[in-house]
Amino acid sequence: MNRPVSFLLAAGLGTLLAGCSSVGGGVGIGVPILPGVSLGVGVGSGGVNVGVGASSGPVGVGVGVNQRGQVTGGVGVGASTPVGGGARVGVGVGTGAVLYDPNNPARPLPGGDAR
């Protein structure tokens, strides 16, 4: 699996799912910065997202910030195929959670701790 696609699956879908608390979809692009690590930007049903992700094979994890300033984390799995010119198209599933919400700073963190 192409690493940018893994990033998008993990960070993009995870962030979108976390942002809208339901199934979402979107499109984005990732740019590899190190082996297995990518920076990316995406737009979808949860808004605009910018983040960093890491992947190994079909599994990816990511952390991003959406247009509302929420910091989100996500994990996903997927597959991609080359479509020519170095581009790839992929599909996957993921899930995520809001780790920090500036509009609700007392929100309990995953695991039950409030900060």
Residue 114 placed within a domain: no
Question: How much of the chain is in helix, strand and coil states, percent to nearest 5?
Answer: 15, 55, 30
In a domain, 106, yes or no: no
pLDDT along the chain (115 residues), means of 10: 46 44 67 90 83 90 91 90 84 87 73 58
8 A C-beta contact, residue 101 and residue 93: no
Q: Is residue 47 in a domain?
A: yes
Q: Is residue 90 part of a domain?
A: yes
The whole-number pLDDT of residue 26 equals 72
Give the pair of three-digit tokens for residue 55: 């992947």
Question: By residue range, what is the domain housing residue 71?
Answer: 3-100
Q: Decide if 83 is inside a domain.
A: yes
Kindly report the CA angle at 99 between 93 and 102, in degrees rounded to 5? 125
How many domains is the chain built from? 1
What's residue 113's pLDDT? 58
Residue 115 in domain = no
Would residue 111 count as lying in a domain?
Answer: no
- Asked if residue 59 is part of any domain, the answer here is yes
